[in-house]
C-alpha cells in the first residue's frame, strides 16, 4: 500500500476511515505514517482539552429570566382562553407595566425633598426592591430586543428583500411607556447610570415602534451599526447587572433586618 494521504491518516486517527484495516496494516510497516497518526492524536487531545470556565451559580436563573422576558402566552386550547390572545395579553402586560411604573415612579421611589409617601404599609426597603425588580425586568426585555435586532439578517438568498422585524416592533411599543417613566423617575432620584441608559434606549424604541414592520436589509444593517457603535447592548447589560446586584443586596438586607 502507498502512503495514505494526510486526510486519510487524520480520519483514521479519529476512527472515521473507511479503509481502516488497510491503513492499520500499513502503519505496522511505516514509522513515518505511524508518527503522523500519533502527532494528530496528540494535537487533537491538546485542542480538545481546552479549559471551559464554569458559569456562576445564578447562570440558570439568568438564562430563565431572559427566556421568560421573551415569552408570549401559548394558547393551550380553544374556548375561553382564546379571549386571552397573545396580542391582548401583550397589550394588557404593557398597560400593566405602564400603570405599575407610574405607580412606582410617583409613589414608591424615595424622594428626599418631599413629604413621606402616603403608602404606610410598605417600607421604603420593600418599595425599593419592587422598583429594582421592575427596572431589572424592563432592562432584560430591552436587552433581548437589542439582541434580536443585532442578530437579525435577511433569509439566505434574500439579501435584496425586506426583513420582518414586526416582533421587535411590537415589543418596543410595549416597552416605550414604561421606559419614559422609569427614566424620569431615575432622573428625579439622581440615578444617572439608569437614566442615561434609558435615555439612550428611548429614541431606538420610538424608532422601532413607529417604523415599518418590514425594513430593507440596508436599513437594518444601518440600525445594527448604530447600536454597535454606541455600545448600547453592553451599556444595557452593565446597568441591568448593576440593578440586579442592588436587587440582591436589597433582598439580603431585608432578610437580615427581619
Partner 1 sequence: MTRMADSDAAQVALVLGGDRDAFRVLVERHSRRLFRLAYRMTGNEQDAEEIVQDALVRAYRRLDRFEQRANFGTWLYRICANCALDRMRKQRTEDVHREHAPAPEDDAQGPLETAASEAPGPERLALSGELGQGVRTAMNSLSATERAAFVMRHVDGHSIEEIAEALGLNIGATKNSVFRAVQKLRRHLEPLVSTAR
In the complex, what is the shortest distance from the CB of residue 30 to partner 1, in angstroms, rounded to a whole number?
A: 18
In the complex, what is the shortest distance from the CB of residue 109 to partner 1, in angstroms, rounded to a whole number?
A: 29
Nearer to partner 1 (CB atom), residue 9 or residue 98? 9
CA pair distance 161, 234, nearest whole angstrom: 29
Q: Which of 198, 250, 220 is nearest to 153 (CA)?
A: 220
In the complex, what is the shortest distance from the CB of residue 149 to partner 1, in angstroms, rounded to a whole number?
A: 12
Residues that bind partner 1 (CB under 8 A): 6-7, 10-11, 14, 16, 39-40, 42-44, 46-55, 59-60, 62-64, 66-68, 70-71, 73-77, 81, 144, 147, 150-151, 153, 225, 228
Please name the residue that has the C-alpha cell 451599556: 235
In the complex, what is the shortest distance from the CB of residue 94 to partner 1, in angstroms, rounded to a whole number?
A: 18
Nearer to partner 1 (CB atom), residue 46 or residue 121? 46
Nearer to partner 1 (CB atom), residue 18 or residue 161? 18
In the complex, what is the shortest distance from the CB of residue 181 to partner 1, in angstroms, rounded to a whole number?
A: 26
Q: Which of 71, 96, 100, 68 is nearest to 86 (CA)?
A: 71
Nearer to partner 1 (CB atom), residue 122 or residue 222? 222
Nearer to partner 1 (CB atom), residue 42 or residue 107? 42
Task: Answer whether 109's CB lies under 8 Å from 188's CB.
Answer: yes
Sign (positive or negative) of CA dihedral 234, 236, 238, 244: negative
Nearer to partner 1 (CB atom), residue 11 or residue 174? 11
In the complex, what is the shortest distance from the CB of residue 76 to partner 1, in angstroms, rounded to a whole number?
A: 3
Amino acid at each position: 500500500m502507498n502512503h495514505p494521504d494526510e486526510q486519510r491518516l487524520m480520519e483514521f486517527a479519529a476512527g472515521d476511515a473507511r479503509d481502516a484495516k488497510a491503513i492499520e496494516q500499513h502503519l505496522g510497516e511505516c514509522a513515518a505514517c505511524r508518527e503522523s497518526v500519533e502527532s494528530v492524536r496528540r494535537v487533537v487531545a491538546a485542542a480538545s482539552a481546552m479549559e471551559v470556565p464554569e458559569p456562576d451559580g445564578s447562570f440558570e436563573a439568568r438564562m430563565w429570566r431572559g427566556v421568560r422576558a421573551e415569552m408570549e402566552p401559548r394558547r393551550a386550547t380553544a374556548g375561553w382562553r382564546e379571549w386571552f390572545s397573545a396580542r391582548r395579553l401583550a397589550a394588557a402586560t404593557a398597560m400593566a407595566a405602564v400603570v405599575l411604573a407610574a405607580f412606582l415612579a410617583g409613589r414608591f421611589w424615595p424622594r428626599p425633598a418631599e413629604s413621606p409617601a402616603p403608602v404606610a404599609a410598605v417600607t421604603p426597603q420593600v418599595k425599593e426592591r419592587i422598583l429594582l425588580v421592575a427596572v431589572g425586568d424592563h432592562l432584560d426585555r430591552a436587552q433581548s430586543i437589542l439582541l434580536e435586532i443585532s442578530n437579525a439578517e435577511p433569509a439566505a438568498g434574500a439579501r435584496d428583500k425586506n426583513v420582518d422585524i414586526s416582533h421587535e416592533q411590537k415589543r418596543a411599543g410595549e416597552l416605550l411607556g414604561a421606559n419614559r417613566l422609569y427614566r424620569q423617575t431615575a432622573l428625579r432620584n439622581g440615578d444617572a447610570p439608569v437614566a442615561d441608559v434609558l435615555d439612550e434606549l428611548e429614541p431606538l424604541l420610538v424608532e422601532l415602534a413607529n417604523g415599518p414592520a418590514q425594513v430593507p436589509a440596508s436599513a437594518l444593517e444601518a440600525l445594527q451599526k448604530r447600536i454597535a457603535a454606541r455600545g448600547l447592548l453592553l451599556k444595557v447589560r452593565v446597568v441591568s447587572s448593576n440593578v440586579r446586584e442592588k436587587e440582591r443586596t436589597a433582598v439580603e438586607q431585608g432578610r437580615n433586618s427581619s
